[in-house]
Amino acid sequence: MTAQALRELLESVRNQEQSVDEAISRLRSLPFEDLGFAKLDHHRAIRCGFSEVIYCEGKTADQIVTIFDKNAATGANVLATRADRAVYEAVAKKIPNAEYHELARTITLRQTERLASEHTIAIVSAGTSDLPVAEEARVTAEIMDQTTETFYDVGVAGIHRLLASSAALQRSSVAVVVAGMEGALASVVGGLVDCPVIAVPTSVGYGASFHGLAALLAMLNSCASGVTVVNIDNGFGAGYTAALINRRIAPRGKVDGVTP
């Protein structure tokens, strides 16, 4: 249940539109619902600003469909990550409005009106091979009602491609930078912008990249201030964190709504 849904429920009791017993019945599954194989955290949206996200790898299709359906029943937006098309097709039989994002391997269900954020999250990727992780970050941020702008295939091997977009990039309030190989792009972007940079190393690269370890270590050792790093291939974590940051950013030149 979202904070808005809980507020509406309490208002309906106060206005005598439904009884206390009816409200208790609706709240019975809070704060979590035990499905036997999973305990759904229905308070997640109230505490953290977004409902529990479904990580699909390692779960059966039936388990995913059940969890997805239970989350959808709360009226909140739903996100499932690392889902293949077979899983999506199983979900779609139960919930036809669910949408599959092939490249990102995510399933989303939007049930609330989209209120696009005033500020923008830049999603930057070094190469086309990094797009699945970058798209996972973008889809995550957008289902959390954040405005995104993409800057794809702008790696350091052709730095002019990035510099051509530097003015637009500098207007962003948060940047998610996705890169494999040696992971240098995060440091370059960190040296161009005055906003938080969330670096995402990917497992893209030849043998000595060690499935993303080289990029991870390079990003952790970045000389650019303001660069933080998530785990290898964790586009979801980067998109989620960027959304949380973007929600709290005041207009430039203002602190707590006051112009200094």
| Separation between Cα atoms, residue 144 and residue 198, nearest integer Å | 17
| Separation between Cα atoms, residue 222 and residue 87, nearest integer Å | 38
| Separation between Cα atoms, residue 154 and residue 166, nearest integer Å | 11
Between residues 71 and 12, which one has the greater pLDDT? 71
DSSP code of residue 194: S
| Separation between Cα atoms, residue 204 and residue 211, nearest integer Å | 6
Instruction: Say yes or no to pLDDT of 2 above 60.
Output: no
DSSP code of residue 49: S
Q: What pLDDT is attached to residue 174? A: 97
**In percent, how much of the chain has pLDDT > 90?**
68
Q: Which domains does the chain have, with CATH numbers?
A: 3-109 (no CATH), 120-248 (3.40.50.1970)
Tell me what the mean pLDDT of segment 229-240 comes to: 97
Q: Taking the model in full, what pTM does it have?
A: 0.83
- Mean residue pLDDT of the chain comes to 88
Q: What pLDDT is attached to residue 218? A: 96
37-66 residue pLDDT tens:
777 777 777 777 888 899 999 999 999 999
Contacts of the segment 53-61: beta carbons below 8 A, 24+ positions apart = 53/79, 53/80, 53/81, 53/236, 53/240, 54/78, 54/79, 54/80, 54/81, 55/80, 55/81, 55/82, 56/80, 56/81, 56/82, 56/83, 56/84, 56/87, 57/82, 61/86, 61/87, 61/90
